[in-house]
Amino acid sequence: MYSITERFIRYARISTASDPDSSTSPSSSRQFDLLNILEKELQELGMENVHLSETGVLYASLPGGVSGEVIGLIAHVDTSPEASGEGVKPQLHVNWDGLPILLEDQVRIDPAECADMLRYKGGTVITSDGTTLLGSDDKSGIAIIIETCKWFLDNPDIPRPKVAVAFTPDEEVGRGVDNFDVDRFGADFAYTVDGGEVTEVSSETFNAWSANWKITGREVHPGSASGSMINAVRIAGELIALMRSEEMPENSKGREGYDYPLFVKGATGSAEVKVILRDFTTEGMVERRRRMEAIRDCLASLFPGSQIQLTMKEQYSNPGEILSRDRRLVEYALEGMRQCGIEVKEGSIRGGTDGSRLSFMGVPTANMPTGGELFHSRREWVAEEGLLIALEGLINTLKLWGEKQ
């Protein structure tokens, strides 16, 4: 087992799911369980300026480096609350035969549903046991960053830029850089190591908004409800029915956006619906928000006497325009990955990273791969060989920065 694999598995076993309903930072105290370990490991490794903030952001810097721009490396410690992250039991499928992997609870990982999985036929694929997610998003990114720092500390004569490191909480609930100190971080450019297949470096993400609905109805005994009851559950159902099914996640791909009804709960008297909106263009996002407002007005007319509250909030924006102003960040990453002997393309991630917001906070940030897929689910996997390729690609990218400077 390679050291990066051992490191990743050790991190994956620590439960760090974020909590979208919490207002604290981090949103779950368990994230400190991993952050405290990482703080100690960075110090033992010989990193400088190691600092863990009260709000759960861990900063450090790599000693040395040539003068010039400072390059930041970022990963997040939390895992998605969409699938259980409690008691993760990583499984190593050594000499994988390329066939679907069957796990507990009838969980099936089919390579036909993955973009790059068959690259690792004959290698080692890491999964959970099927009862939880794996946590590769983004503990694989953490492992890659720390192994990268260790490699440069072990090879001090290799030219590289000055490197800053940060591990953030709550990325999965859109709050990863809410308390991020750009000045303490000190980077001019940065890479989030939070991607998937090793064949892609991402220079774009979605524009992202949330649309949260609170519906108030009127409770009446069903036996005497005629002309009086206003059923909030029925209104919630009509709300979802009015959304365009052809523009939901299961029916969209590539650069197509979506409207995603993420969460529903309620009873006759009140109901709550959470929707997220995603689009690569500003114009497309404006139209999606207008549709939400039109649905609100339609429901109000269909159900007089109800109270329908719609609250929309921006979560992050597409950094593509900012990254196009200085192409070095993306070009060096593409070349660094190509030096691993693979074909690599520039792509658009169908999601978001801390880099989406950091780019608009003055630190242009692109996204590097980790070698896994099917994140946020019990079918999540990462390949040992993918981790090694991503590690080599990141080292190559930093060497290019050092050579150019």
Consecutive H or E run containing 393: helix 384-404
Residue 85 and residue 75: Cα distance in Å, rounded? 18
Q: What is the mean pLDDT of residues 289-308?
A: 97
- Cα distance between residue 12 and residue 381, in whole Å: 12
How far is Cα 147 from Cα 5, in angstroms, rounded to an integer?
10
Residues 167, 269, single domain; the answer is: no
> Helices then strands (H, E): number in the chain?
10, 18
Q: Quick check: 338 pLDDT over 80?
A: yes
Residues in CB range of 238: below 8 A, 6 or more apart = 299, 302, 303
Q: Are strands 101-102 and 108-109 parallel, antiparallel or unpaired?
A: antiparallel
My answer on whether 53 and 192 are in the same domain is yes
Amino acid sitting at position 80: S
Q: Edge-to-edge strand order for the sheet containing 258-266?
A: 258-266, 270-279, 207-216, 307-316
Q: Round to whole Å and give the CA distance between 376 and 381.
A: 10
| Predicted pLDDT at 388 | 98
Residue type, 403: E
Q: What is the pLDDT of residue 140?
A: 98
Residue where a domain terminates, one of 296, 315, 334: 315
Residue reference for tokens 């050790």:
10
Q: Over the stretch 5-54, which tens digit does the pLDDT of each residue have?
A: 999 999 999 999 999 999 999 999 999 999 999 999 999 999 999 999 99
Per-residue model confidence as pLDDT tens digits over 191-217 = 999 999 999 999 999 999 999 999 999
Q: Characterise 365 by phi-psi region: left (phi > 0), alpha (psi -120 to 50), beta (else).
A: beta
What percent of the chain clears pLDDT 90, i.e. is strictly above it?
A: 93
Confidence of residue 79 (pLDDT cuts 50, 70, 90): very high
Q: Within this chain, do residues 22 and 117 fall inside the same structural domain, yes or no?
A: yes
Put residue 30 in one of left, alpha, beta given phi > 0 → left and psi -120 to 50 → alpha: alpha
Q: CB neighbours (10 Å) of residue 129?
A: 16
Task: Give the β-pairing of 200-204 and 66-76.
Answer: unpaired
Same domain assignment for residues 59 and 114: yes
Enter the pTM of the model: 0.88
Looking at 252, 282, 315, the residue that finishes a domain is 315
Domain containing 292: what range?
208-315
Calpha distance 242→337 (Å, rounded): 44
- Domain boundary (293, 315, 337) is at 315
Burial of 198 (0-12, 13-18, 19+ CB in 10 A): buried
* Domain count along the chain: 2
Task: Check whether 1 has a pLDDT greater than 80.
Answer: no
CA dist., res. 201 & res. 219, Å (int): 53
399/306 same-domain check:
no
For residue 194, the one-letter residue type is: D
Query: Of 280, 363, 278, 385, which Cα lies nearest the Cα of 69?
Result: 363
Q: What pLDDT, on the 0 to 100 scale, is given for residue 286?
A: 97
CB distance 388 to 351 below 8 Å: no
Q: Are residues 75 and 39 part of one domain?
A: yes
Question: Is the same domain home to 400 and 308?
Answer: no
Residue 122 has pLDDT above 90, yes or no: yes
Q: What is the pLDDT of residue 405?
A: 81
Taking 90 as the threshold, does the pLDDT of residue 94 lie above it? yes
344-363, pLDDT tens digit by residue?
999 998 887 889 899 999 99
Are residues 122 and 41 part of one domain? yes
Q: What does the pLDDT read at residue 30?
A: 96
Q: Which residues are catalytic?
A: 78, 171
Integer Rg of the chain from CA: 23
Tell me: the pLDDT tens digits for 247-288? 999 999 889 999 999 999 999 999 999 999 999 999 999 999
Report the DSSP beta bridge partners of residue 214: 272, 309
Please tell me the distance from the alpha carbon of residue 215 to that of residue 278, in angstroms, as a whole number.
23
CA distance 28 to 32: 8
pLDDT of residue 404: 87
